[in-house]
Amino acid sequence: MATVIWLHGGACNGNTQSFLNAEEPTVCDLVTDFGVEILYHHSISMEFGERARKVLEGALNGNPPLDIFVLEGTVILGPDGTGRYDMFMGRPMKDWVWDMAHAAQYVVALGDCACWGGIPATAPNPSDSRGLQFLKDKRNGFLGPDFRSKAGLPVINIPGCPAHPDWITQVLVAVASGRADDIALDELQRPQTFFSTFTQTGCTRAQYHEWKEPVEEFGQGTRKGCLFYEQGCRGPMTHSPCNRILWNHQSSKTRAGMPCLGCTEPQFPFFDLMPGTVFKTQKVLGALPKDLPLGTDPVTYAMHATVARMAAPKWAKEDMFVV
Ligand code: SF4
Ligand code: SF4
C-alpha cells in the first residue's frame, strides 16, 4: 500500500500521457493489484478546487501519511525568485513542491524537466526553471544537493522526454511493495536497472555501426545503415533501455529510423553545447563524428572506423530495409 501525490510544474504533460499508456502493469493494475492509492493527480483525480486543496493539505499534515511524491515538470522560480509564473491553488507551485518533498517518504522526479530542467531550463531559461535536485548535470536543483526524503533517499530521477511507462510503473511498484531500498541509483540518481546500458544495446542497426555503414539522408531511416554517422544518433552515448524495453512493446526510435536524441541525459536537448545539431552529426575534419561513443579513444576509433569501412562485407552495403 502506498499513497501518491503527483504534481505538475513547467512541462507539457507528456509523462502523464506516457503513464496512462502503461501496460505492465496498467494504471488500473497499480490501483487494484499493487495497492497504489493516487490521492491527487492533476489529470485523473476527481477532486478539484477546494476538495483538491483539502486532499493536498491533508497529505502535508499526515492525513493520510504521504508515501510517494511525484513531480512532473520543472520547478519554476521566475520572476525574480517569486515562482509566480506558476501559481497553483493560490500559492506558487514551488512552495507546494517544497512542502510535499519534505512530507513524503520518497520523492520521484519524472521526466527530464523534473530531473534536470529539460527544455524549459535550456538557456536563456526565461522561466528560471530548475529540476528537483539537478540543474542540467549539476547538483544545484531546487531541493539542494543534500536533500533526502523522509526515508533517507535522494530524489529518484526517472528521466526521458517522456519517460517510458514501464520505467515509471515499475519504480512505483517497487516502492509500494516495500522494495524501494533495492532501487540502486547511478551517480545521476537514475535507477541502474534501466539506465546502466546504452540505447545502442539491442539496436537492430548495431552491425552497421560496426562496419561504419551510414544511413546517408534523413528520411531514409527505414533503410539499412547506422544513424550515427550522418544523422546525429546519440545511441552510443545515451543511457537508456529503449532497445531492450521497447516502446508500445514493439519498436523504438532507431528501429523506426529516427536517431536517438539522448533524451535521458541531463544535457538534453544539447542546444547549449551544440547549437543546430539535431539530426546532424558533428564532424571532425569533415568526416569522422566529433561526438564519439562513450569510452572510446578518438585516435583508435578513427583507425578502427577507416579499416572497418574498407573491410565492410557486401551485405553491409546492400540497399535493403531494416525493421
Ligand atoms: S548509433 Fe544509433 S542507429 Fe547506430 S547502432 Fe547505435 S543506436 Fe543504432
Ligand atoms: S531513443 Fe533516445 S531520444 Fe528516444 S526515447 Fe530513447 S533515449 Fe530518448
User: What's the pLDDT tens digit per position in 240-249?
Assistant: 999 999 999 9
Ligand nearest to the CA of 322: 1
Burial class from Cβ neighbours inside 10 Å (0-12, 13-18, 19+) for residue 48 reads exposed
The pairing of beta strand 106-110 with beta strand 68-72: parallel
Provide DSSP, 230-260. Answer: HH---GGG-B--TTTS-BTTTB-TGGGT---
Average pLDDT over residues 72-88: 98
Question: Residue 188 in 3-state DSSP?
Answer: coil
With residue 286 as reference, give the H or E element that holds it.
Answer: none
The architecture in CATH of the region 2-194 reads: 3-Layer(aba) Sandwich (3.40)
CA-CA distances (angstroms) from residue 200 to 3, 242, 243, 319? 36, 8, 7, 22
Average pLDDT over residues 60-80: 98
Task: Decide whether any atom of ligand 2 lies within 6 Å of the 263 Cβ.
Answer: yes
Q: Atom of ligand 2 at shortest distance to CA of 240?
A: 7
Which CATH number does the domain 197-323 belong to among 4.10.480.10, 3.40.190.10, 3.40.50.720, 2.30.42.10?
Answer: 4.10.480.10
Burial class from Cβ neighbours inside 10 Å (0-12, 13-18, 19+) for residue 310 reads exposed
Average pLDDT over residues 90-104: 98
Q: What is the pLDDT of residue 273?
A: 62
CA 81 from chain center: how many Å? 26
Question: What digits encode the pLDDT tens for the residues 153-178?
Answer: 999 999 999 999 999 999 999 999 99
Q: What is the pLDDT of residue 86?
A: 98
Q: What's the one-letter identity of residue 146?
A: D
The pairing of beta strand 283-284 with beta strand 288-289: antiparallel
Identify the CA nearest to 9 among candidates 89, 53, 78, 71: 71
Q: Which of 226, 253, 265, 281 to mutate to test the pocket of ligand 1 (most atoms within 8 A of CB)?
A: 226
Task: Decide whether any atom of ligand 2 lies within 6 Å of the 233 Cβ.
Answer: no
287 pLDDT band (50/70/90 cuts)? low
Is the confidence at residue 323, as pLDDT, over 70? no
Task: Decide whether any atom of ligand 2 lies within 6 Å of the 242 Cβ.
Answer: yes
Helix residue ranges, H only, 37-92: 49-60
Ligand nearest to the CA of 229: 1
272 pLDDT band (50/70/90 cuts)? low
113 has binding-site annotation: yes
The grid coordinates of residue 97 equal 513542491
* CB burial readout 253-289, b (16+ within 10 A) else e: bbbebbbbbbbbbbebbbeeeeeeeeeebeeeeeebb
28 has binding-site annotation: no
Q: What is the pLDDT of residue 311?
A: 85
User: Distance between CA atoms of 71 and 84, rounded to whole angstroms?
Assistant: 18
Averaged pLDDT score across all residues of the chain: 92
User: Distance between CA atoms of 295 and 38, rounded to whole angstroms?
Assistant: 42
Q: Which of 227, 229, 255, 264 to mutate to test the pocket of ligand 1 (most atoms within 8 A of CB)?
A: 227
297 pLDDT band (50/70/90 cuts)? confident
Question: What digits encode the pLDDT tens for the residues 111-143?
Answer: 999 999 999 999 999 999 999 999 999 999 999
Identify the CA nearest to 95 among candidates 136, 87, 139: 87
Is the confidence at residue 233, as pLDDT, over 60? yes
First to last CA, the chain: 41
Task: Decide whether any atom of ligand 2 lies within 6 Å of the 260 Cβ.
Answer: yes
Ligand 2 midpoint to CA 205 (Å): 15
Domain spans in the chain, listed from the N-terminal domain onward: 2-194, 197-323
Q: Atom of ligand 2 at shortest distance to CA of 164?
A: 5
Identify the CA nearest to 289 among candidates 236, 240, 241, 252: 236
Q: Which sign does the torsion angle of CA 82, 84, 87, 93 carry?
A: negative
146 pLDDT band (50/70/90 cuts)? very high
Q: Which of 167, 227, 242 to mutate to test the pocket of ligand 2 (most atoms within 8 A of CB)?
A: 242
CA-CA distances (angstroms) from residue 206 to 52, 142, 203, 209, 267? 49, 39, 6, 5, 24
User: Distance between CA atoms of 200 and 242, rounded to whole angstroms?
Assistant: 8
